[in-house]
Chains A and B, each alone.
Chain A
């Protein structure tokens, strides 16, 4: 109360003192225009206290001058027109002076506040950016925000890959964490927002005067603001601090994501290395097993027919085990993102190689080819696509009736080559047409359940697609391969 009245008191006292001074001077000297002294007072009042006290001082000066110096002295009465004019000029000049002075004061104090804001932000930002620990910088920021008037709490919650983490600025209750997560996911501020560079409080405050939530790019600000204690400058400062917090949370997220990516990469490499070494360890004993088992099936070993058959069965099992280990390694390498050695190849050659490799399994069976002579070359990894072809052909061999046909075909448009392997075996159940490419899904007795899964990954690694469908005569597998960009060079 006193603080608000004091300027006006000062204005009155000042006006009285100036009146006394004018009176003293006019006793000894005959000077005109001493009323200008009042202007000094009004100027001072305006720059020091603002417009109100300046106006009060102007009016007081007007009245006192009228009373003491304008004839008839000792009354508020004014006789002459020139005296009246003099009085009003005094009032007008005093009012304008006060107005100018007070607006000067406002501009200056605003500039000072802005400079203070800027200095504080600068110090905070440099401290924050210099600090290697983003969390420490955020704590610093939160402390600064809580020093602002009306801000009783300023906490930061980071959203790390969908999980809310209490980072800085006092404890956040589990309930508030949930609210923060909700606010983040919906991009919906609660209780407060930022507009035109300042924090604005929403009229609909959360129930029970709870915290306000403001979502940022990498997290959420949880704060409590008492509306009646804040001023515009502090709300601007708060908005600037929130902006800085947003930047710091972004930086923190970038660091986390880089770490996570490095972790994944390392674990993929490790996985591939372990699997490779494991496969080696598994295959070496299988190699000894097969060498020993097949050694004993030679007639010179002198074993009886049944014994030889048993050994051949066991060798078949060892072979199956070997195939399974190989398939698992192939699949895990594909999943780890193996690099393809893509080169131009003629599709017919790839089919020929696959058929040559399956020579023993084919047992003289003919495979029908529908591959045009003038197909453009494909740009593929020979070994991987060879794997797809042998897998699909083995699958066809398993299901095609011994008198039924197996067909491999291909056609091309300007973008890609479409190839198919079909057999006249039983249809695949419609519900299985997609599942058939899943890992370990098999309807074959002999398969590892990995062949089609491997094929799908190989085709997709080449940017193609593979699908299974039923024709009237039996199942067909269709896949696409990219064409080579070059044309045949001699």
Chain B
């Protein structure tokens, strides 16, 4: 039986993880990931979590513990943030390369220096080439659902890739929402036990972590193809979740009031909720604006994004991170998706870094600016939103 109650985003994630029946959980604390792993520890202490819970000496070890566990054939989970995710990064490449379907919560927080524990997407952006699937969520209910979906996507024998569910720290992990928790029986039906393709087993001695000189290029290609296959899988699993539990948050992307939109906003994460409010408000003023939520950042939904925005006159991408020396990483990917197809121009906006608030009014000013660019027929390379004005020698709003 499903049940609705008000809880923190972190608790919703912990509930989802528990319901997925992992056999091994390992974690090292870092803000703002802590409430998730603390809640799982409480479940364990109360006998409600079946998993072995391994408290470790670092995030490097946390990722390594679930690596060994997954290779031994059991469903495994960890969570981290920011510096912790960066410390895991070497392990993440290896996990993906070894095709181990672990699930990780990436609680988005910016990266030092200077140090702050405030959220943006700088951390998971650094992980985009690891071979780990990234699903970014808009709210805590989606975070709950996406963890249940994540194991199903990861463990499919056509995919066999780690999945990271990315959620904005504090904004989601520490805010309270009514959450619909699904019944265990239905979850068990949706997510059957993990069946590994290979495993460490003395009955059939397999070698993991080979030295491969000749075929590295092909192994990397296989990873890429598995990512390509994951596109359909992510869509299918989202639809199956909808059929089973009645909730849908989008597949690779979610379109919001895009049908006749001239300006389309495009972003990931919790800012989507704010953007939906802004779109509704602007629509009342008869401004033709729509929104594309990017749910899967890797694999990148190149085709789906093109189809969603091709009729628009301009796309305004909001990045909560900055690829120093290049610009907005999400905008860069969107431009690449549209470039050879005569897509609309792309306005790249950098906003909300280090936890700076992105409000409805911020989004409205971006739309306003995009409308101006649209009339002028082209977009500037980059727009820095809500930066302190005297630091901006370049393009500004």
Tell me if chain B binds chain A.
no
Report which A residues bind B (CB closer than 8 A): none
